[in-house]
Amino acid sequence: EPNHAVRVAVHSAGTPRLLLQLREGASADVLAAADRESAEALHLPHAASPPVVHPLAGNRLAIAFAAGNPHGIESLADLDNPSLRVALAGPEVPAGRYARRALAKAGVELRSRSDEASVQALLTKLAFGELDAALVYTTDLQRPQAQVEGRELPAGLQPEIELTISALPRAQTAPRPQAAAFVRFALAAEGQQILRDHGFGAAR
């Protein structure tokens, strides 16, 4: 809130891992999830009611590959090639669900070499040369540490990606005032501009 400094500690992980940690008792005030389905499925054992889920931002999918695109990958159809090592996030991971929806739209049948627990795991394997391609979020390609390049999917193949944010209730109580204030900040003009500056789109 105005005139009150709040220190924010950020813990990042794939959405399924974050949800598991919360269900097992991890302490957190705010959850930013990669999809509404996951956020709405969260039932905290100590809470009298589920958290309120707000649309936070949009994102897009891209094909990620090694720098220089050595295999000349231009489209999803190019991934249907048994000589390429291609992987997706697992079907229980929002990025994996989004990727499979895009492939279905494109009519491409793809067997994932390994179903990874997060987009970060895909990027790590790409960076170490263990994969030739993967489907990731466009925003992940803007991180310098990713060490990979990519090609955004055309608009007609993009799934509807909705990131969400929720203030989490404490034991038998409403969320802390600071948590509600953080969510308001993220949804207000300044917070939304920060997200746009990092490549995210508006929530649909």
Give the Cα separation of 108 and 49 in Å (integer): 41
Blockwise average pLDDT, block size 10, the chain, 204 residues? 69 90 88 94 77 95 94 96 96 96 96 93 93 96 79 97 92 78 95 95 84
State the CB neighbour count (10 A cutoff) for residue 13: 13
Give the Cα separation of 12 and 18 in Å (integer): 8
Residue 165 near residue 186, CB atoms below 8 Å: yes
Kind of pairing, strands 133-137 and 61-65? antiparallel
Q: What pLDDT sits at residue 67? A: 87
**Burial class (CB within 10 angstroms; exposed 0-12, middle 13-18, buried 19+) of 163:** buried
Phi, psi (rounded to 5 degrees) for 126: -65, -45
Structure-token pair, residue 156: 């007609």
57-108: per-residue pLDDT in tens? 999 999 999 989 999 999 999 999 999 999 999 999 999 999 999 999 999 9
Q: What pLDDT sits at residue 155? A: 96
Give the Cα separation of 4 and 37 in Å (integer): 34
CA angle 197–102–20, rounded 5-degree value: 70
| Per-position b or e across 102-133, b if 16+ CB within 10 A of its CB | bbeebeeebebbbebbbbbbbbbbbbeeebbb
- pTM recorded for the entire structure: 0.89
- Identify the CA nearest to 182 among candidates 194, 171, 172: 194
Q: What pLDDT sits at residue 1? A: 46
Residue 179 near residue 30, CB atoms below 8 Å: yes
